[in-house]
Structure 1
């Protein structure tokens, strides 16, 4: 369905009004229901209070009767045992609710326990204590029971004696009849003489609760202060039990309270005399039946009112917005540069009429401006063609990007470098799509500085561009901002020069220079030991050609040692060259076995200690580890450690310290060789591991070398999938750190290399030191 402004305004305005009406109507419904529910609760509260009042009146009547019995003893009856029993019979005759009445004196309270009272002997216990209990039988007859029935240790006797106040017991079932006992103290001359007591049937209250019919689903419960059920309108099986057994779930406190649980309302009130609690529960469905009916009627009327109001609203909006479709078609024609469309004719003077007048004026102004713009565009197109022609004949890459780093213009040279047609490049983000990953953030930062006005020009900015074919080109950029007439930055003009061939040529020259220097050093390294070997041999020949006596004057041992040491130097050079060549050709393989790395490094360190200390350096081995089994190539690791220690000796002075350390971090072993020697300049710390590279000659002039030792060390470490780095401060010393991953091969055997296995390698690596 096509959207129209009439439909949009109708939907949005009507929807807003309907939403407001819905909120108001919901609020009214809510308030109405709240008021009605409150009335229902007030009615329940009023009913329960009336019931509590009537039960309290009955309780008060019993209390008054009991008080009469006490007053009889105080005024005339105390000590008159026969008359007192007769009085109890009168109480039963006159009050049908009373099932039993009793007097109970304290032992010999009237001083007559030992007198002959044969006429009322059945009202005496075995000690002569006066304790008559007159009871009404189910047949209606009355008789005096034996006093042992009364249970003097129970609440109805002990509580009045203790508190000197009236006591009402919890309900109890006696011979099928629910009853409660009322007892009050007989106090004469401030002395407790005994109690008066009556047993009241709860049948009258039970019948009263049965007769209540405020609601068809209402249930009533009369509960004692100890939460025992005195009377109930329906669940009689729980009489005398704790109210927790009821199937009705309510929770009340002493005093009037109102609440709801699940599908029921309940209300409670206190019966003052005895502090009983009367509780009434009603099904919510019945209590709210009238409220729900009224709510449904109100909702129906509300829906009808909303429908009528919506129809009326739609009619008003439709009449008001009739001219809008014409204005829409008129504006669409103007957007399509169709200026032959007739003017709008709207007679009203409201906002829509003003809109029509403004559109008519806009038509005239827009027509004249379009004519001027078309003329300007023709002139701009000519200038653009001239500029593109100039840009395309230059060997410099030109790229114009907008504020989003998207290409708006690129010349032929730029398209050639990026490896795509111009139309394929336009619209692409040149930084995200063509700058190398390592340099993207820096390029974006430069672009941000230009686009935000922080800088207007950035010169000689170098990046690596990756073209569509995956080729990398090195470009030197000069970037300047492009601004509009208001001085606002709109884009960046980037001119780039491809220096890839120049850089490759420069690197090739540098490499050739390093090779030349390396072979010059290598020739010198070969020449020196060969000269020493030849001169030593000549001396031996000279001694042999002369006589044995002159031969003994020569230090033959010194010459043979010199020959041996320089032979080792040559052998080490040859070995390093062969191994480095094999590594570069991927033909060098490691022989992995499981070793105890702690023992291995310790043995290597201790084995060269004599060599080092003969040079007056202090060598130590530090670790907190006892053992660490891992897989490695013993001979490669041996060459690594000996090379680093021999370098440390070369670049330290007498009295300096060399420390070999070993520790574990995460799942790696960290090996370090630290010295307190001359150190390495910071500018050369990254190049010492490259092939043919050496530290500046000013630091190495006193120590000859080929420049492949640390390169070979780095290759061997990396073949163990490890890393090596150097930390050094000029004049303070150096620390070489190796990180090796802890791995094991699938074998239970742990290889063991004894120190004597190191001797030949030590001779090779320390041959230079022995010739100094």
Structure 2
């Protein structure tokens, strides 16, 4: 309970008032007591000096009866004051008293009264005064005064001894204490009530701020404190509202930036992982998980080294730190053949202290493939050109060395030179056409033409080739006379290329089929054969430049290895698609998909 500031305020307020009232009460009662005792002393001195002393004479200490009669008639409050006459020359005998019933008459004053003040008064001749606590009078003090009485010669012959009973004074003081105590209790009760109200006025706004601060800590920033005063508590509420507004604005900005950053990181084509100095993962994007074929559980359970260490030891935190480089890169080769480039950089704080590592994975598989294709392309072009050039050169040298004299040999050699020249010409022509297609520099002359008629024209042109190998041609044309909007000569080139390949790679007495079907807004041209077929692993690369399933055999048959690549480019320019299905030893089917109502802008 006392952990609450409300009760602390009430307690402090109560103690302050209690201590203050107690001090004031003690001071007042003490001063009140001194005042009344001093008043009793003054009264007693007045009685002695103004009433008793004038009635006493030097002769009275000889004839005791006269003095008793004199002072016995002095009007006094018997219950409060008593005056005694003491003969110092006669063993301090008490010879008279204002109280005729006093028990002190004829008794030795040194025994029944205060010995110290009597001796001091009788010896030094001064007025002696002392308060003595009486056991008989309810323990209250009794004021005692001893006044010396001198004769005409100046000798002390007696003492006028006065006693003032202070019982009534202490009764008044006791009553005053009771009254003061009651007043103090009432004041303390009022203090507690006021303290409670004051503490409540302070703690309620603080509790309100605390409750709303707790809600803010849980993420609810739509909190506002009601301002009910213009004091420090009100200022605290105003600052809280200002802080809430600024904090909400700042967090909204941070959240917005974080959302942007998360969106960028999560949509990155590259994989990203951030780890601390211990290798525990702080952040990872979906691309990274996908690249390494991981699961969400793996990210939670594994460390950085456990994930990347198995692919490349140079990427472990220990090896990276040993290199003493703030950034670098390594290559990772996955089991599925993908090649990843890992770029890493240290995470540092504002004090340039390393707090972790960021690693980015780039998929360079296609880049490597393209680089390999480029190298292979250069090698293939060099090889394709080298063979005919070597042949032409050797035959030409032979002719120059004297073979021209033999007409038969000369004619045979010139025919070989002519064929090789034509082969180089076709290769260069295909390369130029492919280059123009790559850079969109080939002009397409789109016009509407009848597809069935075009296929028949192509078949007629290759009729001799069919007959040479005794191939059976099954022509399944569409009776709808499908009209195509495209470049007639380019489509003819594609059909002729595929049919030429079918003839080349189909043994004698083979079967070649051409089927045309319309599917919604597309027409499907299927060219099938029962030739040697294509291995399964070679099908994805069949449209690559210079790619041959059997390089030696294809080259002997006169192909450049660019025909299918050119065909693919042409079909794609017509917004169509070309695909192949094949089984080794059973045959191959090419399918060309073209839009029927192609709109050219």
Greater Cα radius of gyration, structure 1 or 2:
2
- TM bin, normalised by shorter chain, reads 0.3 to 0.5
TM-score, normalising length: structure 2: 0.41
